[in-house]
Amino acid sequence: MRTGRRWGVTLCAAALSLAVCACEAELTAENYDRITTGMTRSEVEGILGPGTVYRDAGYQISGGGVLSGGTADRGDTTAYRWESPGKEVIITFKDDKVVEKTRSGF
């Protein structure tokens, strides 16, 4: 029975490491270039994987925790961030459509 558990743990660890590697591999210049204005967030996540909310409704929180920005006329605007070591992509969506994208580190 212990041997079966070891194999299970080994297989889970292998699957987890492959998933982590796959996420990092998705943040490439080629995939960034595939993102175009007007794409939906789900289309972008199909290319880059899930991002994290970076800025919502025109407000931004700095690394020091300072809230800034914000305008009432921006509509439903949210920016998402994708990161891997030394690389960062920020894509802004308005009404669930890409309106702006930036990258750094590659």
Q: Model confidence over 48-86: pLDDT tens digits?
A: 999 999 976 555 566 666 656 554 445 689 999 999 999
User: What pLDDT sits at residue 48?
Assistant: 97
pLDDT at residue 88 is higher than 70: yes
User: What pLDDT sits at residue 55?
Assistant: 79
The answer to whether the predicted template modeling score (pTM) of the entire model surpasses 0.75 is no
**Are the C-beta atoms of 62 and 70 separated by less than 8 Å?**
no
CATH number of residue 80's parent domain = 3.30.1450.10
65 against 12, higher pLDDT: 65
User: What pLDDT sits at residue 101?
Assistant: 97
pLDDT at residue 39 is higher than 60: yes
- Domain interval for residue 45: 2-104
Q: Report the domain count for the chain.
A: 1
Cα 63 from Cα 55, distance rounded (Å): 12
